[in-house]
Amino acid sequence: MSLPGRFITLEGGEAAGKSTQIARLAERLRRQGRSVLELREPGGTPLGEKIRHLLKHDPDGRGMAPETELLLMNASRAELVRQRILPALRSGQVVLCDRFYDSTIAYQGHGRGLNRAAVQSVIQLAVGTLHPDRTLWLEVDPETAQTRLAGRKAAQGSTEPSDRFDEEHEAFFARVARGFRESFEAEPDRWRRVEAGGSVEGVEEAVWSAVSDLFAEA
């Protein structure tokens, strides 16, 4: 699907720094005079945010079947694509999204062990012919990720709802990381790997280096 705007997604495991880097990239692009829309998955629409809470924080969501998780993720995604992403791209905006369908392949396909063909079929229904122009894989080693998660939990305090994905075991996250690597290796033209274990400023420059060609003047 060829649209006037640019669609960039940031992927990676928990505590990879995606939201921080999206905010910094958005600010850089706005300083250049570009119109930028920042989104996250699951979420990004009123309905999607309710689904996000159910998937991540609501006690009623604990223990849901992997198939339920897959369908809820893509219900939120279908709304996001049609209500926010496609209209923005058609108007020429830059859309930056914290996760997209590659997370589903990694988390529900590899992490939960769901049938890959079934996962792809559900994704196809949700997104149609939409694909990111560029996907960045923010990769951090497990030790750094755990340190960041511990710091994030301490900063939030006990009043913040727990996130059931943060509480998964090491084997789950190893499968998720393997899923991201396989997707990265399968589509090298779309993907860029960013070492995200360094300073925020250093990662910001690496992110810009990975996407700047999309904004080169013709």
Contact 19, 7 (CB under 8 A): no
Nearest to 208 by CA among 21, 20, 1: 21
| Domain residue limits, the chain | 6-215
If you average pLDDT over every residue of the chain, what do you get?
93
For 33-77, what is each residue's pLDDT tens digit?
A: 999 999 999 999 999 999 999 999 999 999 999 999 999 999 999
Q: Is the peptide bond before 42 cis (omega within 30 degrees of 0)?
A: yes
* Alpha-carbon distances, residue 188 vs 35, 73, 182, 184 (angstroms): 27, 25, 10, 6
β-bridge mates for residue 61, sequence order: none
pLDDT cut 70: percent of the chain above it:
90
Q: Structure pTM? A: 0.92
- Write down the CATH superfamily of domain 6-215: P-loop containing nucleotide triphosphate hydrolases (3.40.50.300)
Residue 218 has pLDDT above 60, yes or no: no
- The mean pLDDT of 122-132, rounded to a whole number, is 98
